Amino acid sequence: MSAIEENATLHVPIVYGSIAFWLGRKADDMHTHKWTLYIRGPQHENLNYCISKVVFTLHPSFAEPVRELREPPFEVTEFGWGEFEAQIAIHFKSSDDKPVVIPHVIKLYPGDTRQQLTTRKPVVNEFYDEITFTNPEAPLRESLLRSRTHPLPSVESELREHLTSVSDAEDVQRLSFAQSYVTGQLESTRAHIARLDAEIAQLTG
């Protein structure tokens, strides 16, 4: 084992958030929205190689507000009427890593108040983050290192169609495509200017 591996800091990218559907005509006073609070892999990959359980704490107005999930999908779906701040506690498959607690506001309404409520477009309030493991124990370290080179199984969830895959690779591809488009446009504009300059020179010369 190399010295670098012994002192390894390993990062696991995660995405957490909430997605809320307005119920429209099916809404009543206590149930205006159906929402889901979740933590997931950025590309919907299964995170159970490092996460042992996720504990979601909801507003006390919900029956049994503390919900514990030991298997993915790590999500809780409820019907409700109000926005509130929930807690997501992530527990890890290692004895020395303390749970990470993330507060998260379940948003039901679009930020832009001029936007009409619609049952078609859910309100997604989602964040990308990274869990850092410093010198993880051998079994966890091995699974973390393995996850870098071996594709992880993915998790099926009804929400998948509404939640995009978040990946650096896609961003890099999009940016390099944009860059080559801009370069192409610059070149053709330069050529156009050169042609016009030549025409002007002919007409005036």
Which is nearer to ligand SLL, 34 or 40 (by Cβ)? Answer: 34
d(CA 172, CA 132): 23
Q: How far is the CB of 60 from ligand SLL (least distance, A)?
A: 9
> Residues near 91 by Cβ (< 8 Å), separated by ≥ 6?
51, 52, 53, 54, 55, 99
The owner of tokens 């309404």 is 109
Nearer to ligand SLL, 123 or 140 (CB): 123
The least distance separating ligand SLL from the CB of residue 19, rounded to whole angstroms, comes to: 15
Q: How far is the CB of 111 from ligand SLL (least distance, A)?
A: 17
Residue among 82 and 139 whose Cβ is closer to ligand SLL:
82
Q: CB-wise, 33 or 44, nearer to ligand SLL? A: 33
Q: Kindly state the DSSP code that residue 62 receives in the 8-state scheme.
A: S
Q: Which residues bind to ligand SLL, rule: CB under 6 A?
A: 30, 59, 61-62, 80-82, 84
The nearest distance, CB 80 to ligand SLL, in angstroms, is 3
In angstroms, what CA-CA distances link 164 with 38, 60, 161, 167, 168?
14, 31, 7, 9, 13
Alpha-carbon distance of 131 to 10, in angstroms, equals 8
Q: Which is nearer to ligand SLL, 61 or 189 (CB)?
A: 61
Least separation in angstroms between residue 59's CB and ligand SLL is: 4
Run of H or E residues at 77 = strand 74-80
